[in-house]
A and B are shown apart, each in its own frame.
Chain A
Amino acid sequence: MDVPAPVLRMSGIGKQFPGVRALDGVDLRLLPGEVHALMGENGAGKSTLIKVLTGVHPADSGTIELAGRTVSFAGPLEAQQAGISTVYQEVNLCANLSVAENIFIGREPRRRGRIDWKRMRARAAELLERLELDVDVSAPLSSYSLALQQMVAIARAIDVEARVLILDEPTSSLDAGEVRQLFRVMRRLKEEGIAILFVSHFLDQIYEISDRMTILRNGRLVGEYLTRELSQVALVAKMIGQELAELERLHGEARTFDRPLVEARELGRTGAVEPFSLTIHEGEVVGLAGLLGSGRTEIARLLFGADHATSGEVAVGGAPAALRTPRAAMARRIAFCSENRKRDGLIPDLTVRENIVLALQATRGWTRPVPRDQQDELVGRYVKALKISPANPDHLVRDLSGGNQQKVLLARWLILEPRLLILDEPTRGIDVGAKAEIQRLVAELSDGGMAVLFISAELEEVLRLSHRVGVLRDRRLVADLPNDDTLTTDTLMETIASGGRA
């Protein structure tokens, strides 16, 4: 099979940031009509490479050739005009404007100085039809799902004669059906000869959609491979630079749990989750499985007092507890790592140190600061234990990669030594290495007697870690299954699908 000439070729790209060599001699080539996956752990240099390509950062060394001509972009706008469009993880559109307006914002078709609404709608409809999407272009964008909004962003990106389309983690907030929809669109674009650069942490998706991949590690090129010639295990090994440690059998010998820590009885919140009963024992990991929006997060928020329950009661350690605020839950040593670490977790302007000691400081009130040497001790210990990088505690948290931000959030709660740790999607959007570390940590903590409520969209992960799995469907807890040898991802999926009646 002969290889067509690459539409884009980056060679010997180097980029130095203060104190970090972000990229060192990286090559990347994109062939027309191919989906090319860019792989690597957090901090491997994927984002930097994309930013260099789109002109956000100038490269220190190396060249970029687009269709055989050497180019250098002063910014994403120039890159886009040259045919390199980017769609980011978070949808950067205006939800209150219509679909058509979003597609043409800033470059509306005009007639005699005024916006030609009719032509705009017609062209938008045409464009979406090309992606085989059935959308009312005059409806506000907010009336469509996140997945469709993402497609609209793609439609906007490819309208400008795109030759290269960069999709930076487009699937991290989509559910399975939405991912399928996105992949259909991607295949469609592939057929049109567009080169797609795809970044995702979901290995299954990479194997489903990509033809070829480039792997980075620590800012260096590991190599370029054909996807069908590289096994998943080999890929992971190349990404983390070592054979993947044994992930199975995370827990020690089987144990019995007889000391209930948190008991929820008919706890519920109107419009969020139907009344449910759930008991979490000391040292037990209880997994929650269910689709996006099935009420997983809502249960976590009720148990942490982030939302008020409208019915039912909770007992902690046998005594009834009114969990009306996060503080009340924290006083009973319940901790909650929220799913959306940007919105509900970290304070981006504060340093790693300040973010880590924040919850401890909050419990002490402002009149009793955590002494500096205690801060240093705690922060130093957890930065080391969780391998937070960069290891400088005075770094601003917003400059850290997603996985490291997640670890900072985790550290904030671990220093409180909670009895129940609620983890809502702690491994979403982070790389394989960090994921394995966090999973191992959860197992260790529970072996040490801490109870964990573990929420994840990845059933396999839930199964691997949990002693017991609660299954949610349509905002109801439909099953509470012990995790014995008979429980598999298939039975979990069946339970989710059938609502536990089978």
Chain B
Amino acid sequence: MRRLLWPLLVLAALLAVNLFFTPSFFSVEMKEGHLYGSLIDILRFGAPLILVSLGMTLVIATGGIDLSVGSVVAISGALACLRISEDGGVLSAVVLALGLCVLLGLWNGFLVAGVGIQPIIATLILMVAGRGLAQLITDGQIITVNSPSFKVIGGGYLLTVPFGILLVLVVLGVTAFLTRRLALGVLIESVGGNAEASRLAGIRSRGIVITVYAFAALCAGVAGLMIASNVSSADGNNAGLWIELDAILAVVIGGTSLAGGRFSLGGTVLGALIIQTLTTTIYSVGVPPETTLLVKALVVAAVCLVQSPKFRDKVFRRAGPRASSRPAAEEKVRVTA
């Protein structure tokens, strides 16, 4: 649990900044039987990112990366909206969209584990082609739908809580169950920690890797439905644009190494919340729109530095002299030996 300490501190700091600028930031009210408040908004608007990040966590834990999730978000929303605008069957639209997403994920997994293409290249294909596919589905237009039941996914409420938040909890619960109660987690970590040793231990690493990419695409698909439902329209160009980068960032902030191996679902959720809170904060503090990206980049860089044990050692050396400077010292050995 100690590795969740720094993400928690960062999140607390961001919330404190908000509280300073907006004293009513923490208040949660009940309006017309629904929960309202800035904190609820962060959770609600952060829901798609959390979902995408959860899938990304497992992919990164196997030592891979999935750049195509943003495009899958767009495809999922586009196909669902197209289907609804044609005959209005929400359930069939959702099933169809998620089915296609799983297929796309299997395709990614096949390229990585079956053909042996490097993950960053393999998923780059779908990242680029997928945007095209989404535009093809929407015919280059923004498809607008008017379906109250579709609207529930991203904008509805259940038992006073926004439906999206509940959906995240369900996906998080399922993921935690699959990886930690069942043995998927340890096998993923094993494949990511040492692929050849895992093969020699009899692990079907190919199957694990394909499963993980399919899961990531499925998560992206659900996120795509959420985004499309929230605005009742599908925009092939902009839906989920750059969300893959935010998701990768969330995973890293959450303490999962890009090299693969150990992963932390809790850390990823915290990471995604940090990014969403940061976005909210930038608006609430009143940063001019043209500088928001720059400010975000600076804060993210600071967050990453603060999380790096090496950096902390260097900066706070006086506070803890050499007690934890082992990694840095060992690296010197390698250089000098």
Enumerate chain A interface residues (CB-CB to B < 8 A): 54-58, 74-77, 80, 85-88, 92, 105-106, 153, 156-157, 304, 306, 326-327, 330, 336, 338, 343-350, 354, 358-359, 361-370, 412
Q: Is B34 an interface residue (CB 8 A)?
A: no
Judge whether B127 is part of the interface by a CB distance below 8 angstroms. no
In the complex, A329→B326 CA distance in Å? 41
Closest 9 pairs between A and B when the two form their complex, measured CB to CB = A362-B202, A369-B183, A347-B193, A366-B184, A349-B261, A362-B203, A92-B337, A349-B193, A330-B202
Interface residues on chain B, size class: 20 to 34
Would A56 and B330 be within 8 Å (CB), given that A346-B194, A358-B190 are in contact? yes
Contacting residues, chain B, for A327 (C-beta < 8 A): 202, 204
Q: Closest Cβ of chain B: how far from A359's Cβ, in Å?
A: 5
Q: Is B322 an interface residue (CB 8 A)?
A: yes
CB of B139 within 8 Å of the partner chain: no
Instruction: Tell me whether B332 is interfacial, beta carbon within 8 Å.
Output: yes
Complex Cα–Cα for A348 and B328 (A): 19
Q: Which residues of A contact B186 (CB under 8 A)?
A: 350, 354, 358, 361
| Interface membership of B318, Cβ < 8 A | no
Which of B193, B201, B208, B322 is within 8 Å of A326, CB to CB? B201
30 contacts between A and B (CB under 8 A): A54-B333, A56-B333, A77-B335, A85-B336, A86-B337, A106-B335, A304-B200, A306-B200, A330-B202, A336-B200, A338-B200, A343-B194, A343-B196, A344-B197, A345-B197, A345-B200, A347-B198, A349-B261, A350-B193, A361-B187, A362-B198, A362-B201, A362-B204, A363-B202, A366-B178, A366-B183, A366-B184, A366-B208, A367-B183, A369-B183
Mostly, the B contact residues are helix
- B182→A362 contact, CB < 8 A: no
Q: Which residue of B lies closest to A364 (CB)?
A: B183
Contacts between chains A and B (CB distance < 8 A), count: 114
Contact partners of B178 in chain A: CB under 8 A: 366
Interface bits B198-232 vs A (CB < 8 Å: 1, else 0): 11111110001000000000000000000000000
* Given A327-B202, A359-B201, CB of A350 within 8 Å of CB of B190: yes
| In-complex Cβ contact of B196 among A55, A344, A348 (8 A) | A344
CB nearest neighbor in B for A160: B336
| Cα separation A70 to B166 with both chains bound (whole Å) | 65
Instruction: State whether A58 touches B333 (Cβ < 8 A).
Output: no
Residues of B within 8 A of A366 (CB): 178, 182-184, 187, 208
Q: Is the CB of B332 within 8 A of A76?
A: yes
What separation, in Å, do the CA atoms of A343 and B197 have in the docked complex?
Answer: 7
Q: How far apart are the CA atoms of A87 and B334 in the complex, in Å?
A: 10
Contacting pair A348 B193 (CB below 8 A): yes
CB distance from A307 to the nearest CB of B (A): 11
How far is B200's CA from A56's CA once the two chains are assembled, in angstroms? 34
Given contacts A76-B329, A326-B201, contact A350 B189 (CB under 8 A): yes
B262 lies within 8 A of chain A by Cβ: yes
Chain A residue nearest in CB terms to B181: A369
Taking A350-B190, A366-B182, A369-B182 as contacts, is the C-beta distance between A358 and B336 under 8 angstroms?
no
Interface contact B201-A368, CB-CB below 8 Å: no
Bound: A367/B204 CA distance, A: 13
What residues of A have a CB within 8 angstroms of the CB of B334 in the complex?
92
Q: Which of A80, A361, A365, A369 contacts B336 (CB 8 A)?
A: A80
Roughly how many angstroms separate A347 CA and B192 CA in the complex, as a whole number? 9
Q: In the complex, what residue of chain B is closest to A345 when comparing beta carbons?
A: B197
B204: nearest residue on chain A (CB-CB)?
A327
- Interface set, chain B 306-326, CB cutoff 8 A to A: 322, 326
Q: When the two chains form their complex, are residues B182 and A55 in contact, meaning their CB atoms are under 8 A apart?
A: no
User: Which chain B residue lies CB-closest to A397?
Assistant: B193
